[in-house]
Amino acid sequence: MNRCLWILLLVVAPVSTVVAQRKVAAGIGVASDVAIRVWAPSGVVRLIAWDRDSVAVSGTVDKRANFFGGGAGSHAKFGIEASNPKDPVLPGGELTFRVPRASRVWVKMISGQIDATGVTGEVELYLVGGSVNVRNAAGVISVESIDAPVILEGVVGAVRIRGGKGDVTLRDVSGTATVATVSGGVTIVGPRLPDARIETIGGAIIADARLTGSTVLDLQTHSGAITLSVNPAMMPALELLTRGGKVLNEFKPSKGTARVVARSFKGDISVRPTADIKGGKSNL
């Protein structure tokens, strides 16, 4: 008897999941630098660049939501909307967009996950909560969120991130970066490093300061701790200023062309050899 019940459950459970969602499959021909706007209040949005002049959308939307979209040439627009405008539940789904590599993509979500890979035109992402991952991208990357953690990896170009509580990680990013958070921490890790201006209010800043050339890191926090990881053989010029915190730096002043300016109101500023930090909790 028990075996029959289990078999029944195994058959019914997947079917009920399928019924709760609707499949989406759409495609349109566009220009290689098409401007795409995506509005998905909740769920998952994946952007994958490909070398074709078309946009292909696949995935599912919730049963209480509708998928809409269209466009041609230089513009395309897609989204998810509630079947019933008075439904207080955020409409959502899980959509994968294959977009031309040089496209300019704008995505707005309320609570969800955005993953973008390979876009070299422009990526603008807006969300309240959830998470953002951008990998192997180039061009202009702009992210605004209130408490979503943001990870950028292998990015070349101009990066602009405005956040609140979510932590920001820039790994192997080159070009220029401006990052501003409130309580979210910011971590910058090489091997490539950008000219960066980082501002937090309470969030800790951990920066790999093995800088080359004339790279400049400008770090500012109100009460977060600033930790710099340096290679004594290639020390940048350091300017470390705090009003109420402590400065922990055992290294001799350097006249290198690369420069780090670190300022805090009351957060401690410490400079450590890279090896120390690697073994510590910062896990650079």
Q: With binding defined as CB under 8 A, does residue 58 bind another protein?
A: no
Name which of 215 and 264 has its Cβ closer to another protein.
264
Q: What are 177's two structure tokens?
A: 């970066």
Contact status, residue 132 vs residue 145, Cβ threshold 8 Å: yes
Length of the chain: 284
Q: Is 25 in the site for another protein (CB under 8 A)?
A: no
Is residue 201 a contact residue for another protein (CB under 8 A)? yes
**Residues in Cβ contact with 239 at an 8 Å cutoff, skipping those fewer than 6 apart:** 259, 260, 261, 262
Answer yes or no whether residue 246 interacts with another protein by CB under 8 A. no
| Residue 223 interacting with another protein (CB under 8 A) | yes
We find the least distance from the C-beta atom of residue 219 to another protein, in angstroms, to be 12
Helices (H) and strands (E) in the chain, counts: 2, 21
Residue 100 or 185 having the CB closest to another protein? 185
Interaction residues for another protein, span 141-160 (CB under 8 A): 144-147
End-to-end CA distance of the chain: 56
**60, 97, 155, 162: residue in contact with another protein (rule CB under 8 A):** 162
- Gap between the Cα atoms of 237 and 257, Å rounded: 7
Find the binder of another protein among 126, 207, 225, 228 (CB under 8 A).
126
**CB contact at 8 A, 242 and 268:** yes
24 binds another protein (CB under 8 A): no
227 three-class SS: strand
Provide the token pair at 264: 């805090």
> Shortest approach of another protein to residue 79 CB, angstroms?
12
165 binds another protein (CB under 8 A): yes
Find the shortest distance in angstroms from Cβ 189 to another protein. 24
Residue 165 tokens read as 């509580």
Q: Which of 60, 220, 229, 270 binds another protein (CB under 8 A)?
A: 220
Which positions from 71 through 90 interact with another protein, judged by CB under 8 A?
Answer: 82, 85-90
DSSP string across 103-168: -EEEEE-SEEEEEEES--SEEEEEESEEEEEEES-EEEEEEEESS--EEEEEEEEEEEEE-SSS-E
In one letter, which amino acid is 203? Answer: G
Q: Does 239 bind another protein (CB under 8 A)?
A: no
**Least distance to another protein from the beta carbon of 183, Å?**
5
Q: Which is nearer to another protein, 162 or 210 (CB)?
A: 162
Q: Is 183 in the site for another protein (CB under 8 A)?
A: yes
Q: Does 3 interact with another protein (rule: CB under 8 A)?
A: no
Cis ω on the peptide bond leading into residue 191 (within 30° of 0)? yes
Binding site for another protein (CB under 8 A): 41, 82, 85-91, 110-111, 126, 128-129, 144-147, 162, 164-165, 180, 182-183, 199, 201-202, 220, 222-223, 241, 243, 263, 265-266
